Amino acid sequence: MWPGVDAVCEDMPYRREWTKEKLQTEALKYKIRAEFKARSNDAYTTAKDMNTLVEKCQHMRRCRRWSDESLNILEELVLWLRVVKHIM
């Protein structure tokens, strides 16, 4: 293509060609999606682009979301702590 490109690019990391099988093998190394994304962003992005991210991450532990009831209890606790702080 351009003269000297190979010499300039020889120290750059190689971008892997991801197949569905290779993506699955890579995803199995991680327990949660955030870790997969942080440590193997190329594979994560490729799986997302191939619309197979959900499939590849099925084995991963889900981070729990707060329920409405839990959020209400937390909100009441924060309000109570503000009152206590104001009294003291």
Q: Please write the tens of the pLDDT for every residue from 66-80.
A: 777 878 888 888 888
pLDDT exceeds cutoff 60 at 1 = no
d(CA 58, CA 62) in angstroms, rounded, equals: 9
pTM (two decimals): 0.56
d(CA 54, CA 71) in angstroms, rounded, equals: 27
pLDDT the model gives residue 30: 93
Give the Cβ contact number of residue 44 at 10 Å. Answer: 23
Work out how many domains the chain is built from and give that number: 1
Question: 14: pLDDT confidence band, cut at 50, 70 and 90?
Answer: low
Burial of 78 (C-beta count, 10 Å sphere; 0-12/13-18/19+): exposed
d(CA 38, CA 40) in angstroms, rounded, equals: 6
pLDDT the model gives residue 52: 92
pLDDT the model gives residue 87: 77
Domain span at residue 61 reads 5-87
pLDDT the model gives residue 73: 84
> Which residue's entry shows tokens 């942080």?
38
